[in-house]
Amino acid sequence: MPHLALLGGTPTRKQSFPQWPLQRPAQLAALQQVWESGKWGVGSPFIAEFEKRFAEFQQAQYALSICNGTASLMIALKACGVRAGDQVIIPAYTFIATASAVLMVNAVPVFVDIDPETYNIDPAQIEAAITPTTRAIMPVHIAGQPADLDAILEIARRHQLSVIEDAAQAHGAEWKGRRVGAIGNIGSFSFQSSKNLTAGEGGALVTDDKALIDLCFSYQNCGRVREGGWYEHRVLGGNFRLGAFQAALLTAQLSTIAEDMQRREQNAHYLDERLREIPGIKPLLVHPHVTRHARHLYIFRYDAEAFDGLPRERFIEALRAEGVPCHKGYTPLYREQLFVLDPRAYPWIEGINYRELHLPVTERAGNEEAVWITQPALLGVEKDVEDIVKAVAKVQQHVDGLLAKRE
Ligand SMILES: Cc1ncc(COP(=O)(O)O)c(C=O)c1O
């Protein structure tokens, strides 16, 4: 009788993990209030209320709501003075929006490798990527763990570059006791369906710089200025606003996010302790200056050698069959078709051939090593995460069966 579920055995777990979003009655009441107010869009007090509460939550002076986290990155880039042909340094291990936002403002993404222990941009490699046309560094707080902001800000200061934090995955995360977003010049968040704070779609910018947030307001709001008239347009902006229903849904979640964060942290800590006891499994490390990890993704590193050479994809298949929702995650961004197909598609990019790029840590993470469990699986009780540990241990113990099956 085979033991592994993939080979016909009984799965470690049959029940599903918690589903996201957690639907709470206060959210529905908030939506009803907006509906009753009849103020569903621009100028609605529900939008202003969310911006105030979100700025407070992220410990920033100012917040501006945006229609999504891709548009908010584009607006941040423009507000920081990134112009056509300027280079922006980003990590190669991230969601496509980090790179596409740079391309969409006609700037040039310059990929830098990641730290093998945290998967965040490796500050030691940033300096070598700086050229006379570099304008900004855009670290991503990957999986919800802040990037090394001390090192990044120090490099940025020396080279007079802006730091735009892509905090799409890092609501409430902290670097040395301070919440991310306004530690650099400006920070960008996403409230898309999978995110730890969600309205289905949505985004926000936070900063301590009044001039910068006012400029962002103009880009977000058809080029208007705060004190100007409705038909007065001073810069080239668009409509990148968030609606009042989404704003109210997000404000309601700001009352429960602390509780969710605590549960994720507790379960992630349990996984960190238990998974590292299994040969060939290494959870990512948390940098000692990270005082709060948002745990948007739980990522561990898989070493095929400790599994007698079983490829990661097959390991993931076996783990999924055991009832654990897991994925292989990102592939190196510069290998995406949009970067390799037609170099003439972006005529403003000169002197960079993405096809020749080779960043070993990103490639190992993306192609062989990373295994992701997304945040809803961390919202259950200890028994739920214990099942994850049991399932991983089971695959490790019975790996022979999978190898024999392949021959
Ligand atoms: C790192 C990162 N940056 C940017 C985004 C873009 O956000 P959105 O999907 O809201 O446009 C996302 C998420 O989707 C993300 O994970």
Query: What DSSP string describes 176-217?
Result: TTEESSSSSSEEEEE--TTSSS-SSS-EEEEES-HHHHHHHH
Cα–ligand 1 centroid distance for 357 (angstroms): 24
169 lines ligand 1 (CB under 6 A): yes
Mean pLDDT of 51-62: 98
Question: Which ligand 1 atom is at minimum distance from the Cα of 202?
Answer: 10
Instruction: Please report which confidence band the pLDDT of residue 388 belongs to, taking 50, 70 and 90 as the band edges.
Output: very high
| Cβ atoms of 94 and 370 closer than 8 Å | no
Q: Assign residue 398 the CATH number of its domain.
A: 3.90.1150.10
The pLDDT confidence band at residue 405, using thresholds 50, 70 and 90, is low
Residue 16 inside a domain? The answer is no
Same domain, 191 and 45: yes
**Which residue has its alpha carbon closest to ligand 1 atom 10?**
69
**98 within ligand 1 shell (Cβ under 6 A):** yes
For 315-340, give one letter per residue: b (16+ CB within 10 A) or e: bbebbbbbbbebebbbbbbbbeeebe
Range of the domain at 391: 257-406
pLDDT reported for residue 344:
76
Q: How far is the CA of 290 from the centre of ligand 1 (A)?
A: 21
Same domain assignment for residues 240 and 292: no
Residue 10 belongs to some domain of the structure: no
Q: Residue of the nearest CA to atom 12 in ligand 1?
A: 168
The reply to whether 18 falls in a domain is: no
Separation of CA 397 and ligand 1 centre (Å): 37
pLDDT-derived band at 257, boundaries 50, 70, 90 = very high
Find the mean pLDDT for residues 165-194: 98
Q: What is the pLDDT of residue 381?
A: 97
Q: Both 148 and 196 in a single domain?
A: yes
Check pLDDT > 70 for residue 343: no
Do 98 and 147 lie in one domain? The reply is: yes
Distance of CA 143 to CAs 33, 209, 271, 337, 399, Å? Answer: 34, 26, 15, 24, 28
List residues bridging with 91 in a β-sheet: 112
Residues 102 and 237 in one domain: yes
- Whether residue 158 lies inside any domain: the answer is yes
Q: Give residue 406's pLDDT band: very low, low, confident or very high (50, 70, 90).
A: low
**What is the residue-averaged pLDDT of the chain?**
96
Measured in angstroms, how far is the CA atom of residue 95 from the centroid of ligand 1? Answer: 6
Domain boundary among 254, 272, 288: 254
Runs of H (alpha helix) within 255-311: 257-275
Would you give the DSSP letter of residue 366?
Answer: I
Residue 3 counted as domain residue: no
If one counts the domains in the chain, the total is 2
Cβ(367)–Cβ(360) under 8 Å?
no
Q: How many angstroms does the Cα of residue 167 sit away from the middle of ligand 1?
A: 9
Q: Would the pLDDT of 407 be above 60?
A: no
Does residue 118 form part of some domain? Answer: yes
Question: What residue owns the CA closest to ligand 1's atom 8?
Answer: 69
Identify whether residues 275 and 162 lie together within a single domain: no
| Side chain identity at residue 112, one-letter code | V
Closest of 197, 201, 162, 154 to residue 182, by C-alpha: 162
143 & 227 share domain: yes
Residue 216: inside a domain, yes or no? yes
Task: Say what percent of the chain tops pLDDT 70.
Answer: 98
Measured from the CB, is residue 95 less than 6 Å from ligand 1?
Answer: yes
Tell me, yes or no, whether 111 and 90 share the same domain: yes
Q: What pLDDT is attached to residue 2?
A: 64
- What's the pTM value of the predicted model, to 2 decimals? 0.98
User: Which of ligand 1's atoms lies nearest the C-alpha of 142?
Assistant: 1
| pLDDT value at 1 more than 80 | no
Query: What digits encode the pLDDT tens for the residues 101-145?
Result: 999 999 999 999 999 999 999 999 999 999 999 999 999 999 999
Model pLDDT, residue 56: 98
Shared domain for 191 and 303, answered yes or no, is no
Q: Pick from 95, 96, 193 the residue to mutate for probing ligand 1's pocket: most ligand atoms within 8 Å of its CB.
A: 95
